[in-house]
Structure 1
Amino acid sequence: MMNFFALFVVAASLASIQADVISHDQVIPFAQSAATSITNTVALKFKPQIFINNGCHPYPAVNGNGDTSGGLKPSGSESAGCKGSGYGSQVYGRSTWYNNVWAIMYSWYFPKDNPVTGMGHRHDWEHVVVWIDNPAMENPTILAVTPSAHSGYSTYAPPDPSTVDGASAKLFIV
């Protein structure tokens, strides 16, 4: 009986702190991190530009309370209900060394992926890995870019000059 009561207390405690699922257009993004370290400075410097030809635009996936986006059903036109958040978008990023090259992964959340009427799914993530030589160098350079797609990843090393604008990779979501 005592173990059951302890389990009940733990379950009730966890249930009381559970985050909510909220409407995709009500998720408020985190403020952009300050460039307080080499990794943050380099991540901001190389942050890609994203161009949406048609389809859903990126939105924040989670807010400061831990509430998450409920996404959108894949219905209507490709961009129906998701032409951009009034609060702004969110880019998620992580970086580390991989095989002696600095890898920065940037991720964007989309409430739906509806490329063809009648086909698609709720929630989508797109990513790109920007590979640079060394974040501690005075002028690090992009060695490669690896964008995601439904069929996996493709690496472009070196990236085509038309897909780079200064220190920023240009991604085209069609």
Structure 2
Amino acid sequence: MMRLLCTFGAALLLAGCGDGDVQEVRDWMKKVQRETVPQVKPLPEPKEFVPYAYEPGGAVEPFSEAKLLGEMARVAAASPNPLAPNLNRPREVLENYPLDTMRMVGTLQKGGVSYALVQIDASIYQVKTGQRIGQNHGLVTRISDGAIDIREVVQDATGDWVERKATIELAESKETGK
């Protein structure tokens, strides 16, 4: 029985090593390659280039600072930025100090209104929502127990007015560590 199984296994191995009609497939591929003619569309004719001579004469130089400033002024006049602050209004006291010199030292409630206590040098000021603060046209938007949220309006590199958010967080007490 073992002899029969070995003979049958050897026959299967020899059958797997056969050509398996691979030569027939190779012959067909060579025939197709010989008979196939590629069809390539001709390229369109290139457009004729006509050079242009730049004559500056009295014209403004295209990369001059004067032209850039003039264009920026024209755009600013055509569409005023709604974020631009009112520079003619009287400034409030806390607008004279930068935000990084201010420390929030507490909060209090008076008449149903929340106030934050802000220390600048040795003075304490009461700040409420809607009040102006800081040197960058800051407006207090929210007062919580732990922070004052501020919306500042500043000019970017192109002169446009943009908003940015700032926060003054509650300063920790030295005695309590809170």
TM over 0.5: no
TM-score by length of 2: 0.24
Q: Which has the larger radius of gyration?
A: 2
TM-score by length of 1: 0.24
Which structure features the higher share of helix residues? 2
Q: Considering Cα pairs closer than 8 Å and 6+ residues apart, tell me whether 1 or 2 has the greater RCO.
A: 1
